[in-house]
Amino acid sequence: MATLESVTQALAALSITPSDTVEHASASSPAEWKEALQTASGAPKEFELLKVLVFKPKTAKGATPVPVVVVARDTTETSSSSLAKHLNLKDLRLASEDLLSEFFSLDKDSLSPLILTAETFPRVTTVIDVSLATAPVPLAVRALSSHKTLFLSGADISAYLRTLEIAETKLHEVDFVALKGDAAVGTAAQPKQPTDRKEKKPEKEDAKIEGAVQIAIGVKKEVDFAAWYTNVLIKADMLDYYSVSGCYILKPWSYSIWETIQEWFNSKIKEMGVENSYFPMFVSQKVLEREKDHIEGFSPEVAWVTRAGQSDLEEPIAIRPTSETAMYPYYAKWIKSHRDLPLKLNQWNSVVRWEFKNPQPFLRTREFLWQEGHTAHLTKAEADKEVLEILDLYRRVFEELLAVPVIPGVKSEKEKFAGGLYTTTVEGFIPTSGRGIQGATSHCLGQNFSKPEMFNIVVEDPNDPTGQGKTYVWQNSWGLSTRTIGVMVMVHGDNQGLVLPPRVASVQAIVVPCGITAKTTEEQRLAIAAKCEELVATLKKVGVRARADLRDGYTPGYKFNDWEQKGVPLRLEIGPQDLAKSQTLGVRRDTGAKAPISLAGIETAVPALLETIQNEMFTRAKDLYWSRIKPVTEWAKVVPTLDDKCVVVLPWCEVESCEDDIKERSGRAAEPQDERAPSAGAKSLAIPFDQGHWDPIIPGKTKCPACGRDSKRWTLFGRSY
């Protein structure tokens, strides 16, 4: 097996000194890798990515496969069908992780020419991109790891591989550009069932947007959604990668959205009598592990502090993955009488869940920001009521602030919060991937945490005539995280970048001076600038978050792109014509619609237009969501409907084994799994509270399409995040 040391020695023998290994956030896609390198210290200013693809040719059963290893510049189009034809092989498919593991003891994100050694080279067919030798800048080469990279020149890479050649096994040098020309007249069949994201590569080249200028998003949302998403986040200045894998920097452009959500939500929960507080981030092992079901849900992901300075701690201390068990011993202490109820505390903090799956900004991160509310009540009725009140606030955060439609409902027993009684949810939907996404959850914990063998949170029952009765309190917990922001980006963003709903945009209207040419007098120029500033001042007075972009040295076109990319809802242009007519040209980010607005009525026109944008964004997203929710009553239609990027609503039996079965059966037949979206099988997403959208279920007559048992309620099933 190749090790970094052994390979470095081999290179040294050729007088090739690679750069120091650069460590960076673990990166999977090329876009991620590139971003990670640009963030990391030690990477050269200019470099190209090197790609290494491993294909498995169709092999007779029982025969040992000879994998094809392609080493190419990332910018080179490496069509697998053309290559197959060229090598006279049938049906090249990207190798499975198993094969990679067997041959190279590595995963695909660690692939590098360095996997080729005297040991492995004879067992594979190696193809090298002819243009490699002439690459003008250093190439980024995976240092046998997804989070370590070194840099070598193309010439050095070729030189190294040449040393491995033996009589029986030579390098295949391929001119992919010429090959493409040949393939254009060829008829090699495209693989029908791609088994890996990377095989889509040739198709994904289409994602590059024609004529896109340097600052635009660069890939199409519909074609390479994962790359589009991270590009939008980076280019809209929402976020940056960070040197600890799975953690991200929230820049002001996204953090301000979180602040808006906080302010709104705080005002609402304070009206409900909830108070904010702060509990420590640390939890002792004993306390954390108090509730068995609960901790089972979290323990694989708990981060442990074991050392402080140079001293090992007596006992490891956990960083909270959530705070139920940390808080409730104190609830037991504080709640001495029914007069101490309800107790309603909330905290805004960050929690840590050390996921080992691929991280995705906002959606799956090792640390994330959220609020967690924890309340205790005398009766179940009070607890039930609050669960729904909070859920409705969550719905309003999505719908009224983020213009993202969600469906409120209850989770199945299988999907509920570990240790709770029941979980309510607002379920969102990402049309581009056709996947459901959990928006936020409000749990009733019942008396599970308050019971005597658990935290023993008990009061005398004031309604018991004997005065002897005890009541274990009824508890809720509820949380909303920065995931909200990721969902908003995915739902509204387009191929120009981010699209922000006005209510959460930190800049709602950007004023840009236009139409200034060589002929424009200095006086006119100053008058336009002054008018822009005046307009901003006027708008600020009526509460519009407006800003003027008076930067020198940038063209209006550049500024338009810049603010479009950042999603500012409304652009207001002022040129000499506008000045003359006392108007401004308004351009909506969401629709691109342009219309002049008279400066006379601007104080009412702009706020009204922003409201219109907010409402129309929501309505469009809602219509799209509902157009993708398909009631299905026969099993045969489930997978095709899911494959059409829809969510299915089944008249479901609510039996857990049936749910497992649906996931299994829908996963098996499913589309190739996108590694960023872990569930290819359909899960139950929610049982919507409003069942009136679909035909009434007739007890004893309507049957579950998955198992044939009696149906209970219409339930959303879908692939999900």
Residues of this chain that bind a second copy (CB under 8 A) = 23, 38-39, 41, 240, 242-244, 247-252, 255-256, 258-259, 275-284, 286-287, 299-311, 316-317, 319, 329-330, 332-334, 339, 345, 349-350, 352, 354, 356, 366-367, 369, 551
Question: Cβ distance 473 to 481 under 8 Å?
Answer: no
Question: Cβ distance 572 to 584 under 8 Å?
Answer: yes
- How far apart CA 197 and CA 568 sit, in angstroms, is 33
What is the sign of the dihedral through the CA atoms of 27, 29, 30 and 32?
A: negative
Instruction: Supply the minimum distance, in Å, between the C-beta of residue 250 and a second copy.
Output: 4
Pick the closer one to a second copy by CB: 334 or 626: 334
Two structure tokens written together for 614:
């907010």
Pick the closer one to a second copy by CB: 247 or 527: 247
Q: Which residues pair with 407 in a beta bridge?
A: 427
Burial class (CB in 10 A: 0-12, 13-18, 19+), 571: buried
Coil vs helix vs strand at 283? strand
Pick the closer one to a second copy by CB: 104 or 258: 258
Find the helix packing angle between 225-235 and 30-39, rounded to 10°. 30
Pick the closer one to a second copy by CB: 140 or 174: 140
Two structure tokens written together for 571:
């652009």
Instruction: Supply the minimum distance, in Å, between the C-beta of residue 486 and a second copy.
Output: 14
| Residue with the two structure tokens 């506008």 | 578
Pick the closer one to a second copy by CB: 276 or 598: 276
**Which positions ≥6 away from 529 have C-beta within 8 Å?**
513, 548, 550
48-56 and 139-142: which strand pairing? parallel
Question: Cβ distance 600 to 578 under 8 Å?
Answer: no
Pick the closer one to a second copy by CB: 395 or 547: 547
Instruction: Supply the minimum distance, in Å, between the C-beta of residue 20 and a second copy.
Output: 12
Pick the closer one to a second copy by CB: 121 or 328: 328
Pick the closer one to a second copy by CB: 119 or 275: 275
Pick the closer one to a second copy by CB: 300 or 601: 300
Instruction: Supply the minimum distance, in Å, between the C-beta of residue 301 and a second copy.
Output: 6
Instruction: Supply the minimum distance, in Å, between the C-beta of residue 374 and a second copy.
Output: 12
The helix or strand, by DSSP H or E, that contains position 317, with its residue range, turns out to be strand 311-319
Give the CA radius of gyration of the chain. Answer: 29
Q: How many CA atoms lie within 13 A of 505 on its CB side?
A: 32
Nearest one of 562, 582, 401 to 497, comparing CA atoms: 562
Instruction: Supply the minimum distance, in Å, between the C-beta of residue 68 and a second copy.
Output: 32
Instruction: Supply the minimum distance, in Å, between the C-beta of residue 10 and a second copy.
Output: 24
570-574 and 509-513: which strand pairing? parallel
Pick the closer one to a second copy by CB: 52 or 507: 507
Instruction: Supply the minimum distance, in Å, between the C-beta of residue 324 and a second copy.
Output: 14
Burial class (CB in 10 A: 0-12, 13-18, 19+), 382: middle
Instruction: Supply the minimum distance, in Å, between the C-beta of residue 67 and a second copy.
Output: 28
Pick the closer one to a second copy by CB: 100 or 318: 318
- How far apart CA 140 and CA 22 sit, in angstroms, is 10
Please state the three-class secondary structure of 484-524 as a single string: HHHHHHHHHCECCECCCCHHHCCCCEEEEECCCCCCCCHHH
Inter-residue long-range contacts of 661-668, CB under 8 Å, 24+ positions, other chains counted: 661/706, 661/707, 662/638, 662/706, 662/717, 665/635, 665/639, 665/706, 666/638, 666/639, 666/642, 666/717, 666/719
Pick the closer one to a second copy by CB: 338 or 637: 338
Two structure tokens written together for 3:
């090790």
What is the sign of the dihedral through the CA atoms of 144, 146, 147 and 153?
A: positive
The helix or strand, by DSSP H or E, that contains position 713, with its residue range, turns out to be strand 713-720
Instruction: Supply the minimum distance, in Å, between the C-beta of residue 558 and a second copy.
Output: 13
Question: Cβ distance 121 to 101 under 8 Å?
Answer: no
Instruction: Supply the minimum distance, in Å, between the C-beta of residue 528 and a second copy.
Output: 21
Burial 451-469 (b: 16+ CB within 10 A, else e): eeebbebbbebeeeeeeee
Instruction: Supply the minimum distance, in Å, between the C-beta of residue 421 and a second copy.
Output: 23
Instruction: Supply the minimum distance, in Å, between the C-beta of residue 352 and a second copy.
Output: 8
Instruction: Supply the minimum distance, in Å, between the C-beta of residue 248 and a second copy.
Output: 7
φ and ψ at residue 383, rounded to 5 degrees? -65, -45
Instruction: Supply the minimum distance, in Å, between the C-beta of residue 277 and a second copy.
Output: 5
Pick the closer one to a second copy by CB: 103 or 370: 370
Pick the closer one to a second copy by CB: 11 or 144: 144
How many other CB atoms are there within 10 angstroms of residue 338's CB atom?
16
Pick the closer one to a second copy by CB: 259 or 293: 259
* The dihedral formed by the CA atoms of 20, 22, 23 and 24, expressed in degrees to the nearest 10: 180
Instruction: Supply the minimum distance, in Å, between the C-beta of residue 299 and a second copy.
Output: 6
Pick the closer one to a second copy by CB: 427 or 562: 562
Pick the closer one to a second copy by CB: 126 or 365: 365
φ and ψ at residue 466, rounded to 5 degrees? -80, -15
Instruction: Supply the minimum distance, in Å, between the C-beta of residue 322 and a second copy.
Output: 15
